[in-house]
């Protein structure tokens, strides 16, 4: 274990700012993207507490809207979402900033998310509210309409900004590296760390409410008013790490500027089979998602304590983690096609287990939901991997990257599925007795404490989820892109980029092949230099570990000899142990001094690196300002410095490789 930790430390230290051989993303960038993912995904978790569904305690129990009112709000919101999608798609794909076309939306979409979160918790009137205005003297129907209008306005703001934020984040993962394997690794790490954000939100919000307001914490408006804005602001600030710490990399000519018309986007997208297959899998997400939203109902109306939702959600959310960790391994072994099919069918199996066991007790519901989340965890990575490969294949044919258009258009399609599922679910709720009072228009959700009303609703919803999970699995069977095909596609993309960057469009085939062959030879030489450096580091580490084992063996022999010598001279066992401990104490003191010296040297290196970076960035920013550039200069300067370090690493490896080659030639001559 100690040797593995030493190896990990060496790897992280060396490649924190420099990518490994054959890769383009350094650990520092992976860390920024993954920690930022916690913030981005936190907004999705907050959205579960203000969603348009009767299972949402804030909208239903606190604000008192009926399932029908919520259904119409949901439909209106999603119609707005469908209408805005083409405009958002064109906006995103036609965005060309110094930071790229996706990263700026971490700021531009993050701010409206924070504003809408505050408004949805502070500006909606409810029975316990006299802030910001008193509605006790208003007509109940007027209050109801006011609630619906205000919720519609601010929820629509959230529903526009949050998907834009999430889609931009997802699109960055698709262009963070031109290498599919590396993209999958980055997505795996970011999903693992990113899901900590929702887990923390799901635990903190109900639990803090439980501590402050008792067992009805999620039915108390002040739980939401106090804690949700704080969590939203924290998520926004973490999300900015994605903007400032990650890169957008696509295999495109340097002169390329993306401009996509809606009609052209549709024409190109129509030929992208992988996109449509994955869109079909996500179409049924609205039907599948209802299973995880049942937990607040079960806690509030079966257990009688909504405050326990946070603890139970944390337990069931842990199920996502092993699936996410296994996703890159499964993709490497089986491919995203087989892996996606297996895990989607796993959802159907978990839902079937829940259907036959949930009446037996709360524990069975929790266990089934844990298994369901385990199967659900890696599917996002597999869907994104398949779509990323599809975008690369599409670029080869069409010379266009339309991830933003595709992701937003996909939202439009999946929104239709969500509307259909909501209508179906509303029918299930109301046909089983969950209806509004005919006089006041307020729905009493406490009727769900009656198992004869609650259990038929839950069992019907589970059956719907089983069918949706099977339908989600089927499209994976028709995916045809595999690792071998993608290797060829990326080689062709590299060749096209080289031709354009070097102005060889009008050159003959022989001249192109000669120039490109020289480029590949140089690239292979650089990769071999980096590989040799990695092998040398590994060998040096192995030799160091061998020396340490030999030193430990010698120390043990010395201690044993001292112990035996003291006993032979008539000393006691205690005297022998104390004498034998002296060499080990001296060795620990020596190692401690060595570690202190190494740490001091590391600090000096970092100080020198920071000073060099400061000087480089100041010079780079001055030159950029002289050219008339004004935006994102500090971030771009840091990226330029990181690129410089990566280039230096390759040159150093090439130089060392050349020196070793000369040394071998000299040895042969002698």
Which tens digits make up the pLDDT trace of 474-523?
999 998 887 788 888 888 888 887 887 777 877 888 888 888 888 888 87
Where b means 16+ CB within 10 Å and e means fewer, 428-439 reads: bbbebebebeee
Integer angstrom CA distances of residue 137 from 134, 140, 437, 440, 560: 8, 9, 20, 15, 90
Residue 21 CA to residue 15 CA, distance in Å, equals: 10
Full 3-state SS string of 463-495: HHHHHHHHHHHHHHHHCCCCHHHHHHHHHHHHH
Could you tell me if 22 and 530 are in contact, meaning their C-beta atoms sit under 8 angstroms apart? yes
**Residue 259: pLDDT band with limits 50, 70, 90:** low
Does position 380 have pLDDT exceeding 70, yes or no?
yes
Task: Kindly state the average pLDDT of the residues 550-568.
Answer: 87
Q: Which of 99-113, 513-527, 554-568 has the lowest mean pLDDT?
A: 513-527
* Token pair listed for 532: 């040799």
Please give the class, per CATH, of domain 2-488: mainly alpha
- Specify the pLDDT at position 135: 66
Report the percent of the chain where pLDDT is more than 90: 19
Q: How far apart are CA 507 and CA 119, in angstroms?
A: 61
* C-alpha to C-alpha distance for 97 and 101, rounded to whole angstroms: 6
pLDDT band at 337 (very low <50, low <70, confident <90, very high): confident
Burial degree of 441 (CB within 10 A; 0-12, 13-18, 19+): middle
- Of residues 195 and 132, more confidently modeled: 195
Nearest-angstrom CA–CA distance, 24 and 430:
54
- Read off the pLDDT of each residue in 375-390 and give the average, rounded to a whole number: 85
C-alpha 340/C-alpha 362 separation (Å) is 29
Q: What pLDDT sits at residue 342?
A: 92
Give Cα separations from 552 to 204, 508, 556, 581, 587 (angstroms): 48, 66, 6, 13, 10
pLDDT in the model for residue 253: 46
First-to-last alpha carbon distance for the chain, in angstroms, is: 44
Q: Which residue has the higher pLDDT, 600 or 467?
A: 467
Residue 259 has phi, psi (to 5 degrees) of: -135, 115
Rounded Cα distance, 126 and 569, in Å: 88
- Domains of the chain: which residue ranges? 2-488, 509-669
The set of residues, in sequence order, having a beta carbon less than 8 Å from that of 366 and lying 6+ positions away, is 312, 315, 316
Give the CB-side neighbour count of residue 514, counting CA atoms within 13 A. 5
pLDDT higher than threshold 60 for residue 341: yes
Q: Which of 311, 304, 320, 316 is nearest to 364 (CA)?
A: 316
pLDDT tens string 283-324: 888 788 888 888 888 888 888 888 888 888 888 888 888 887
Mean pLDDT for 593-606 is 75
**pLDDT in the model for residue 256:** 47
Angle at 185 between CA 179 and CA 189, to 5 degrees: 145
- How far is residue 110's CA from residue 199's CA, in Å, rounded to a whole number? 20
Who contacts 28 (Cβ-Cβ below 8 Å, separation ≥6)?
A: 16, 17, 245, 642
450 has a pLDDT exceeding 60:
yes
Q: What is the pLDDT of residue 491?
A: 83
What's the average model confidence in pLDDT over 441-447? 78
Burial code (b: 16+ CB inside 10 Å, e: under 16) for 382-395 equals: bbbbbbbbbbbbbb
**Tens digit of each residue's pLDDT (9 = 90 or more) over 264-288:** 777 788 888 888 999 999 888 878 8
Six-digit token string for 124: 């909606």
Identify the CA nearest to 423 among candidates 152, 59, 76, 71.
71
- The DSSP secondary structure of 431-465, one letter per residue, reads HTT--B-TTT--B-GGGGGSHHHHHHHHHHHHHHH
CA distance 492 to 397: 10
Would you state the pLDDT for residue 257? 46
Question: For residue range 647-658, what is the model confidence (pLDDT) as tens digits?
Answer: 666 566 566 656
State residue 670's pLDDT score.
45
To 5 degrees, how large is the angle CA 562–CA 564–CA 569?
95
Q: What is the mean pLDDT of residues 236-255?
A: 77
Q: What is the 3-state secondary structure (H, E, C) of 141-165?
A: HHHHHHHHHHHHHHHHHHHHHHHHH
Whether the per-residue pLDDT at 660 is higher than 60: the answer is: no
d(CA 403, CA 260): 11
The tens digit of pLDDT for each residue in 70-89 reads 999 988 888 887 777 667 76
Nearest Cα residue to 52 out of 156, 126, 142:
156
**How confident is the model over 353-362, as a mean pLDDT?**
90
Nearest to 231 by CA among 34, 31, 50: 50
- Tell me the angle at which helices 320-357 and 451-473 cross, rounded to the nearest 10 degrees: 130
The answer to whether 187 and 386 have CB atoms below 8 angstroms apart is no
Q: What is the C-alpha separation between 605 and 547, in angstroms, rounded? A: 26
Q: What average pLDDT is seen over the chain? A: 82
Asked if pLDDT for residue 186 goes beyond 70, the answer is yes
pLDDT at position 4: 58
- The mean pLDDT value for 361-370 works out to 90
pTM of the model: 0.64
Longest dimension (CA), the chain: 104
Query: What's the mean pLDDT in 249-253?
Result: 54
pLDDT at 254 (0 to 100): 46
Q: Which residue has the higher pLDDT, 94 or 222?
A: 222
For the chain, give the percent of residues with pLDDT over 70.
87
Is residue 241's pLDDT more than 90?
yes
**Tokens found for residue 75:** 């439909």
**Tokens read off for 311:** 């603890």
The mean per-residue pLDDT over the stretch 142-153 comes to 88
Please classify residue 418 by burial: count the beta carbons closer than 10 Å to its beta carbon, then call 0-12 exposed, 13-18 middle and 19+ buried: buried
């Amino acid at each position: 274990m100690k040797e593995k930790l030493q190896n990990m430390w060496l790897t992280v230290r060396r490649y924190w700012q420099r990518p490994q051989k054959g890769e383009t993303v350094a650990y520092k960038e992976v860390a920024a993207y993954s920690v930022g993912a916690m913030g981005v995904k936190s907004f999705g978790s907050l959205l579960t507490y203000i969603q348009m569904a009767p299972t949402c305690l804030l909208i239903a129990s606190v604000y008192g809207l009926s399932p029908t009112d919520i259904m119409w709000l949901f439909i209106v919101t999603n119609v707005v979402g469908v209408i805005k999608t083409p405009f958002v798609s064109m906006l995103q794909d036609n965005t060309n900033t110094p930071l790229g076309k996706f990263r700026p939306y971490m700021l531009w979409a993050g701010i409206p998310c924070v504003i809408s979160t505050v408004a949805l918790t502070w500006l909606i009137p409810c029975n316990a509210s006299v802030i910001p205005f008193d509605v006790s003297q208003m007509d109940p129907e007027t209050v109801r309409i006011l609630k619906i209008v205000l919720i519609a306005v601010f929820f629509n703001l959230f529903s526009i900004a949050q998907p834009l934020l999430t889609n931009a984040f997802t699109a960055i993962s698709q262009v963070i590296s031109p290498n599919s394997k590396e993209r999958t690794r980055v997505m795996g790490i970011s999903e693992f760390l990113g899901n900590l954000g929702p887990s923390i939100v799901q635990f903190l919000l109900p639990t803090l409410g439980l501590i402050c307001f008792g067992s009805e914490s999620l039915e108390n408006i002040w739980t939401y008013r106090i804690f949700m804005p704080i969590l939203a602001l924290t998520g926004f600030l973490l999300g900015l790490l994605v903007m400032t710490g990650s890169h957008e990399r696509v295999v495109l000519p340097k002169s390329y500027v993306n401009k996509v018309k809606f009609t052209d986007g549709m024409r190109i997208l129509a030929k992208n089979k992988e996109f449509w297959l994955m869109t079909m899998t996500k179409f049924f997400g609205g039907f599948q998602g209802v299973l995880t939203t049942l937990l607040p109902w079960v806690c509030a109306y079966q257990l009688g304590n909504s405050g326990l939702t946070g603890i139970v959600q944390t337990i069931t959310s842990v199920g996502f983690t092993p699936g996410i960790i296994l996703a890159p391994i499964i993709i490497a072994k089986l491919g995203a096609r087989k892996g996606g099919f297996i895990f989607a069918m796993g959802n159907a199996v978990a839902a079937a287990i829940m259907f036959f066991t949930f009446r037996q007790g709360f524990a069975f519901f929790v266990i089934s939901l844990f298994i369901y989340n385990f199967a659900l965890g890696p599917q996002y990575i597999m869907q994104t991997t398949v779509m990323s490969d599809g975008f690369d294949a599409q670029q080869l044919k069409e010379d266009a990257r339309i991830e933003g258009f595709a992701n937003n258009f996909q939202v439009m399609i999946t929104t239709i599925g969500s509307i259909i599922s909501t209508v179906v679910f509303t029918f299930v709720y109301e046909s089983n007795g969950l209806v509004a009072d005919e006089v006041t228009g307020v729905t009493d959700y406490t009727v769900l404490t009656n198992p004869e009303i609650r259990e038929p609703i839950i069992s019907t919803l589970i059956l719907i989820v089983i069918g949706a999970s099977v339908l989600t699995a089927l499209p994976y069977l028709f995916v045809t892109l595999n690792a071998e095909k993608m290797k060829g596609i990326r080689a062709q993309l590299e060749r096209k980029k080289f031709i354009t960057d070097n102005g060889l469009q009008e050159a003959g085939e022989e001249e192109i092949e000669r120039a490109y062959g020289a480029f590949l030879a140089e690239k292979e030489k650089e990769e071999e230099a980096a590989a040799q450096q990695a092998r040398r580091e590994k060998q040096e580490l192995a030799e160091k570990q061998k020396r340490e084992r030999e030193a430990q063996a010698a120390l043990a022999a010395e201690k044993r000899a001292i112990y035996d010598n003291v006993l032979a001279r008539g000393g006691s066992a205690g005297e022998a142990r104390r004498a034998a401990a002296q060499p080990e104490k001296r060795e620990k003191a020596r190692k401690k001094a060595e570690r202190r010296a190494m740490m001091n040297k590391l600090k000096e290196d970092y100080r020198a690196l920071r000073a060099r970076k400061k000087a480089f960035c100041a010079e780079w920013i001055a030159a950029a300002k002289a050219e008339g550039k004004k935006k994102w200069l500090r971030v771009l300067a840091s990226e330029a410095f990181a690129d410089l370090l990566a280039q230096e690493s390759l040159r150093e490896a090439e130089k060392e490789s050349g020196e070793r080659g000369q040394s071998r030639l000299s040895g042969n001559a002698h």
